[in-house]
Amino acid sequence: MAKLVGKNKQKDRRKKEKIKASRKRSHIMKLRSQILTFDDLDVSAKSQNVIKGEDISFISKMKSILWSTETGAGLAASQIGILKRVCVVMPDRENRQIITMINPVIMEMGEEKEIKTEGCLSYPDVYGPVERSKKILVMYYTEDWVCKEVNLRGLFARIVQHETDHFDGVCEVQKFHHPVKLLGFQNSRILF
């Protein structure tokens, strides 16, 4: 009798774990579905600055959505239909630290450029070469309205340049170095 009770408990535990995993997958898919795609007009619309005191509670939603993506490294508010100059960036997916930038402005762009393949969460499975500055100086506000001015380089600089393009209604495919060379494949690419 004790063995039968133990087996039933194991079955119940497995069933509960399957239900929990299914709910988690459903939640992740719901979050990802909130990212607008290229055919939505908000993706190519210009964004407005956030005014201090304005409601910025949508930032937590942006962070959750970015966390839910498998390869996302950045997300602009316009990609979820909010036309404000806010982005969340995760330059190191292993570290998983998300940095919020409110009203970021690129103050300086380094002269040295490089061409690298980019993707975009709003253009699923579309990749192409984009020329960007290797180094930038960016000024932005944190969620606590602390003004920061930081020098960025490499991937972090590329992500911020990509997201600030979104604020101006510019999408990655418009910046492809060789527009005829769309690389429509998905592997371990990083999406912004």
Catalytic residue IDs: 163
For 1, counting Cβ atoms within 10 Å of its Cβ (0-12 exposed, 13-18 middle, 19+ buried), the class is exposed
The secondary structure element, H or E, covering residue 100 is strand 99-109
Check if the beta carbon of residue 170 is closer than 8 Å to that of residue 154.
no
Residue 95 in tokens: 């570290």
Pairing mode of beta strands 86-89, 99-109 = antiparallel
Taking the C-alpha atoms of residue 163 and residue 148, their distance in angstroms, rounded to an integer, is: 17
Residue 154 in tokens: 């490499």
Residue 90 in tokens: 């995760």
